[in-house]
Structure formats: structure tokens, C-alpha cells
A = this chain, B = another copy of it.
Amino acid sequence: MTSPSTSDSTETLQAAVASDDRGKIKQLLSSINPTDAVHAVYRLSDLDQSRLLQALSRTEAAQLVGDLPEAQAAQMIERLPAKDAAGIVAALPSNEQADMIARLSNFEASQILEAMSRDEAQGAIRLMAYAPDTAGGLMVTEYVAYDENATVSDVLDDLRGNAERYRRYDVQYAYVLAEGGKLHGVLRLRDLVLSAPDEPINRLMIGNPLSVLDTGPLAELQRFFDRHSLFGAPVVDRNGTLVGVVRGRDVEEAAEERSNRSFLKFMGIVGGEELRTMPLRSRSARRLSWLTVNILLNVVAASVIAMHQDTLAAVISLAVFLPIISDMSGCSGNQAVAVSMRELTLGLVRPSEIWRVLGKEAAIGVVNGIVLGLLLGVLGWLWQGNIMLGVVVAAALAINTFIAVCVGGSIPLLLDRLGQDPALAAGPILTTITDMSGFMLVLTLASQVLPYLKT
């Protein structure tokens, strides 16, 4: 594998695109490793990216688009004329088609759907109706299926006659359907070639095949493929009708994307992945949408300080501890949030088990609260030589750590129960609550012992 340094391949690709040299582009993209190719494409200007896709055939362009991160691919597709875009989208595997269209603006999406053939468009719309991260949302509709009354030669004729179309499919099995399209059996292709041409396929098939329900959620699909070492599984609706095939790899890929989305949301990147090639305006606006909610929550929390300004004015050194207690409680709470979110994803905890979680977190809250409180208390005491100051900050941090882990551990479960996304809301809610309680604790405890704090 030749692998020229990246800046080289970026420049070479740029030159090839500028000269519209399709042969050179193809040769280049296949000679560098895919990771470098993705990087080189990412570094092209918007215009060059469009020219690149237009220089390639639809199938080649679809393959390149499939290599790119989805957000990047969607950006590139969106900038193409609808007809070019439709051709590339139609050449994607059916599950990626639906995902791609869902990412585009309504206007772009409808233009592309119009430019697609009627069958293609209907197929994509049908798939878009399924919830994401379910078997229906992840499945492909590129599979081969035959009526149970077909014979071996019927099947072989069809396979040979449509060899070109089926090449795009991952045909490992053919599915055998009973009346009304109900999944009846699975046919291994190798059994087919060993049989007499007039043999009916329902005598060769494996009956009662394993299948998954189209509404089956991601966690169930992951466990299905953990148990059964299969490339893919047939997907049926609740009537038992075959509607698609879901591949084990796509299931795990969806799980990875879910984890990434979760991480990005928690870090305040909302409304989908941000790439630095996106226009400043939309990047800035999306980040601000989350930041402005946060700043208002921060102002609410800080109003607690404003209400206790007299105490603060009397003992100005308390001001040093307010940000520490705010930040440390946020850290402790976030740890509990992370453990709860992870246990929810793994199915180890149910949203209803809040009391069990609270019990487990409360114990940690007591231990960690005491340790962290003592640490900060001793530092406060030594710094000002006032033991009462140490006692106040120690008590405040200890109690607030306890509050933070209890709130942090239970918020994801509560949000999940309310049908809200824990990744998006848990952080801001947590820090607002713990900021308020933390500031309140420091300042009201201090006001109780004010004479001992004034030096």
C-alpha cells in the first residue's frame, strides 16, 4: 500500500480535480489508503468537492460518499444539482439512502426524491418511516426472496438473469416466502447448486428461520448478533412479513454512532455533528443555542450569591471557594450521570429503579463528600488560619457532593422516564441544581457563624 504523506495527497487530488481528470482522480483515490483519502477530500474547497463527485460515475461517487462521515457526505450532496445528487443517493445502499435523505433540508430532500425513479423514491420513503436505531431503520431492502412454490431452476434463472443488479447485494441467502410475503424459510445458495432443477425450494430451505422484529431496538439487535454469528438477519413486521435484512455490522455501527451523538450532546454540540468545514454562521448559531440556555441557568444559580452579598462582603475570602464548590460538585455529579447513562444503555438499570440507584450513590456521596470536604476544609483553614472557615467550606462541599451524586445518578433515569434525552439535559440541570445548593450551603452556613469568620 503506497501512502504518500497527506499534504501531498491533498494537493495531488486538488490538481486532479482542477483538471477534471477522472482517470487520475480514480487512480489517486484507490492508491492512497481510505483514511488519507477521506482527509484529502475533507480538505478540498466546497467547489472542488462538488467537482470531484461530478467527475466520478454515480456508483464511484456513492462509494466515496459511503466512506465519508455522514455529516460531511450530506453537506457535499446538498451542494450538488438535484439531479446529480439523486443519482448518487439512489446508488447508495437502501439504509444509507434513508439516512442521507433524513439529513438533508426538506427542500433538498423533496427535490432529490422527485429526481429519483418512482420505485427508488417509494423505497426510501418506506424506510424513512421506521424509527432510527430499530431493525427497520437499519435494515437494507437489497435481498432476494422467492415464493415457496418456486423450483430450483426458477431461482437459478432469476439469479442469472439479474446478476448485474444482485452484484450490489450481499447475497448469502435467499429467503423463501409463504402467502402474503410471510417469511417461511431460508435457502443457502450452496444447497441450490447441488439440487435437481425441478426440486421445489421449500424442500431445500431451512424452516423457522431466525428473524428479528422491525421495531426491535438496538440493544436487542446487538444481543441477537452476539448470540448468533450471522452476517445478517431477516427482518419481519408483526405479521411475519419479510420487510428487509439487517446486517450485524450495521447494528454495531449504529451503536457506535449513538455513543458519539451522546458524547457530543453532553458536550453541548446539539443538532447533529459539527464539522469545521461547515459555515461559521451555522456552527456558531448551533453552539450558541445551547450556550444561551446555559448562561440563563447560570444567572439563575448565581442569583443565590446575589441574595447573600452581605455575608460575602463580611467574609470576602468565601468568594474564593464559591467557584471551587460549584466546579467540584459538577464533577462529582457528572461521574454519577456517566455511570447511570452507561447502565441505561447496557440495560443494567431500568428507569424505574431510581431508589436502588439513589442508595448506591448516597453511599459514595457520604464517603467522597467527607474526603473532599476534609481536603478543602484543611486548605481553607491553613490559608486563612481560621478553623471555622475550614469547617464551613468542608461542610458545604461534603453536603453538596452528597447532593450532586444523588441528583447526578437519578437525573438520567428520570429524563429517560419522561422520554427526554439524558445526554442533552442532564448536564445543565445537574449543574444548575448543584450550583444553587452549593452557593446556598456556603453562604448560609457562613452566616450562622459569621462572628467567628471575621478576622
Contact = CB atoms under 8 A, between A and B. Distances in A.
B225 A334 contact: no
A284 interface: yes
A372 interface: yes
B38 A347 contact: yes
Contacts of A363: 280, 284
Interface stretch (A15-23, A49-57, A120-128, A255-263): A255-263
A220 interface: yes
Contact of A324 (B34, B260, B276, B295): B295
Contacts of A275: 339, 343, 348
In order of increasing CB-CB distance, the 7 nearest A-B pairs are A252-B252, A267-B338, A34-B223, A259-B259, A190-B190, A256-B256, A319-B319
A38 B348 contact: yes
Interface in A278-337: 280, 283-284, 287-288, 290-292, 294-295, 298-299, 301-303, 305-306, 309, 312-313, 316-317, 319-324, 326-328, 330-332, 334-335, 337
Classify the secondary structure of A's interface with B: helix
A252 B255 CA distance: 9
Given A302-B321, A305-B320, A322-B319, A334 B268 contact: yes
A288 B335 CA distance: 10
B302 A324 contact: yes
A219 interface: yes
Given A252-B249, A256-B256, A324 B299 contact: yes
A245 B252 CA distance: 18
Given A316-B309, A316-B313, A319-B319, A268 B335 contact: yes
Q: Quick one: which of A276, A331, A383 has the most chain B CB within 10 A?
A: A276
A346 B223 contact: no
Chain A contact-residue range equals 35 or more
A358 to B, nearest CB: 11
Contacts of A72: 348
Contacts of A323: 298, 301-302, 305, 322-323, 326, 435, 439
A42 B306 contact: no
Contact of A320 (B193, B306, B331, B337): B306
A232 to B, nearest CB: 9
